[in-house]
A and B are shown apart, each in its own frame.
Chain A
Amino acid sequence: MKTAAVNKKVRSRRSLSRNDRFTLGAFVGLPTLLQVVFLWAPTLITVILSFTYWNGINVADIKWAGFANYKNIFFGSPVFYDALKNNIVWLLWFTFIATPLGILLAYQFDRKIKGHRIYETIFYIPVVLSLAIIGIIWNFMLQPGGFVQGVMGRDIGNAISIWGNYDINSYVIMALASWRHIGYIMLLYLAGLKAFDSSLREASAIDGATEWQTFRKIIFPTMRPVNVIILVITIIDSLRAFDLVYIIYGTSTAWPLLNILAFQNFAGQGISMKGAAYSVIALVLCVVPILVYLRNVFKEDLQ
């Protein structure tokens, strides 16, 4: 059966006219060229640049640095470990708190609890907002003289520290990031659940299984492909995190992330290829989850 299909396909390719072959070439070539030139080539160049000293201006000034930038990062820049720590906190928070919450919401909404339509909409709205706007909205809430400070009875002179208070700022940033992430996961999972055979759940309900048992024993295992994809999205998003923190702190490294350090060293007033090395480190960390994702998504095709 399978070989027959393949044969058919092969035959259809053989029968292609010269014109058709040209069309096919153009169909594939154009987008591929675009990807290669504007996406893969720049990434490759960044990887190469991370092994050089350069101020980003004259090509002639590029000097080979070997592993100096990496050595500098790993052994000479304590801020790198702060960033790594923050990225890991982000990752753990997303994996163990935000993503499960999104799944929980999706599960409840899929059961069509009272008000689920309006709730769905509300939880999803932050996802369609630009980070520029999210920054402004939360600034209103948290700044001295803003809502949260006001509720606590603080004015600008005795405002409590939020962004600069290292006991709480990680939580606040995680909360803001979750504001967006939970809705996103909720929607993805909900879509997966819609495809789920609801008779299975009803059957288990009749068997007297509790909600939790039904979810854990029946729904969650069946949703395995979706679970993996959501986990990978969570990991990649945590490692790529940048915009939200950039909106809050700018290029200063008050709450560093790998990509913030990359940007600070890449841009800013002094450009150094240490920034390229930072982004290569972030890239390498992303590669494993990307591979897992691809493997999972294209499992059938790979066989």
Chain B
Amino acid sequence: MSTTIVQNKEYKNKQKTKDNFISAIIGFFAFVWIFPILWTLWTSLRPYNDIISYGVFSWPRNLNLDNYFQAFRVMGLTKYFLNTLYVMVPSVILILFLGSLIAFVVSRYSFRFNLTLLLFFTAGNMLPTIATYIPVFWLYIKIGDLFGNRSLLYNNYFGIILIHVAFQVGFATFVLSSYMKTVPKEISESAILDGCSVFRHYWNVMLPLLRPPLAALGVLMSCWIYNDFFWALILMSEDSKRPVTSALRQLQGQYITDFNLLAAGASIVAAPTIILFLVLRKQFVSGLTLGATKG
């Protein structure tokens, strides 16, 4: 009895030294991991001319936020941030709404094709985007022409929103339906017995219960859509309507690039998602967890 305790203590001590060692190694790698970001921030605080005259490693003679102000002005960042919002907010709301509809039906009502439907949505989320590039563009033009307005979908926020929704709703469906399975069936049954209509059953009974996964998904989706620049490149012909991530391409000029200015621009554009992550870490994690590790 006493020997086990001694052994255990010894073991614990040994383990502690080992853990400190492991922690130090991981700490080193964590530094390597974060260094490029820190270096970008550092670069963004220095004027271009200092770098040109004294080199990248020179002691800073000037540190200021000039690059940030200039980036805001040159890039017209306010405009691009607004564009991102115009696309992101409706997309996220629609994704959550449509995803929860399917998840609701699939998990609360029994149809023969329930599983097929779920498979269909989940698989859709995994298709490579490139495969849809030309047809989507072509479809947008044709649908627009059908209604007599070519800009109905193409070169329109609405079109970008639709394509984000189409691509992401599968993920939301999957996450929400897994979550709903954990919600006791009795709640639904009593609702049905009470004579709730399908809509009230969804809106008044289920939706309030879905708040946690909706929040988690909302955060995750906002981050993904914020970061996208590919669809806007293809489906937006007007630069002034493109999101903030593609505005960075404007700073990476044809001509002599002011890297310090670019660093400031990149930092500004990166800030919202990093802040979102730091503040809403829990939601981030549970969003991914619900989606990918459901056994």
Interface positions, chain A 117-165, Cβ under 8 Å from B, are 118-119, 121-126, 128-133, 136-138, 140-141, 145-147, 150
Number of interface residues of A (CB under 8 A): 104
Question: A35 touches which one: B30, B169, B199 (CB < 8 A)?
Answer: B169
Encoded as 1 (CB less than 8 Å from any A CB) or 0, chain B from 139 to 183 comes to 100000000000000000000001101110110011000000000
In the complex, are the beta carbons of B288 and A133 less than 8 A apart? no
Encoded as 1 (CB less than 8 Å from any A CB) or 0, chain B from 251 to 295 comes to 010000001001100100110011011100100111011001111
Question: In the complex, what residues of B have CB within 8 A of residue A41's CB?
Answer: 135, 139
Chain B residue nearest to A236 (CB atoms) is: B126
Question: B36 touches which one: A130, A141, A271 (CB < 8 A)?
Answer: A141
Cβ of B205 < 8 Å from any Cβ of A?
A: no
A interface, by DSSP: helix, strand, loop or mixed? Answer: helix
In the complex, are the beta carbons of A38 and B163 less than 8 A apart? yes
Least CB distance from A52 to B in Å reads: 12
Cβ of A267 < 8 Å from any Cβ of B?
A: yes
In the complex, are the beta carbons of A276 and B134 less than 8 A apart? yes
Q: How far is the CA of A150 from the CA of B4 in the complex (A)?
A: 56
**Given contact pairs A115-B27, A141-B39, A282 touches B130 in the complex (Cβ within 8 A):** yes
Encoded as 1 (CB less than 8 Å from any B CB) or 0, chain A from 232 to 273 comes to 010010011011000000000000000100110011000100
Cβ of A280 < 8 Å from any Cβ of B?
A: yes
**Given contact pairs A30-B101, A43-B132, A293-B126, A130 touches B166 in the complex (Cβ within 8 A):** no
Number of interface residues of B (CB under 8 A): 101
Question: In the complex, what residues of B have CB within 8 A of residue A1's CB?
Answer: none
In the complex, are the beta carbons of B273 and A130 less than 8 A apart? yes
In the complex, are the beta carbons of A140 and B36 less than 8 A apart? yes
Cβ of B65 < 8 Å from any Cβ of A?
A: no
In the complex, are the beta carbons of B277 and A128 less than 8 A apart? yes
One of A21-29, A64-72, A73-81, A91-99 at the interface: A21-29
Question: In the complex, what residues of A have CB within 8 A of residue B276's CB?
Answer: 128
Cβ of A2 < 8 Å from any Cβ of B?
A: no
**Given contact pairs A262-B130, A297-B294, A191 touches B36 in the complex (Cβ within 8 A):** no
In the complex, are the beta carbons of A35 and B124 less than 8 A apart? yes
In the complex, are the beta carbons of B292 and A229 less than 8 A apart? yes
Most buried by A among B130, B136, B245: B130
Question: In the complex, what residues of A have CB within 8 A of residue B53's CB?
Answer: none
Question: B226 touches which one: A6, A130, A225 (CB < 8 A)?
Answer: A130
Question: B115 touches which one: A116, A140, A301 (CB < 8 A)?
Answer: A301
Q: How far is the CA of A259 from the CA of B192 in the complex (A)?
A: 49
In the complex, are the beta carbons of B37 and A137 less than 8 A apart? yes
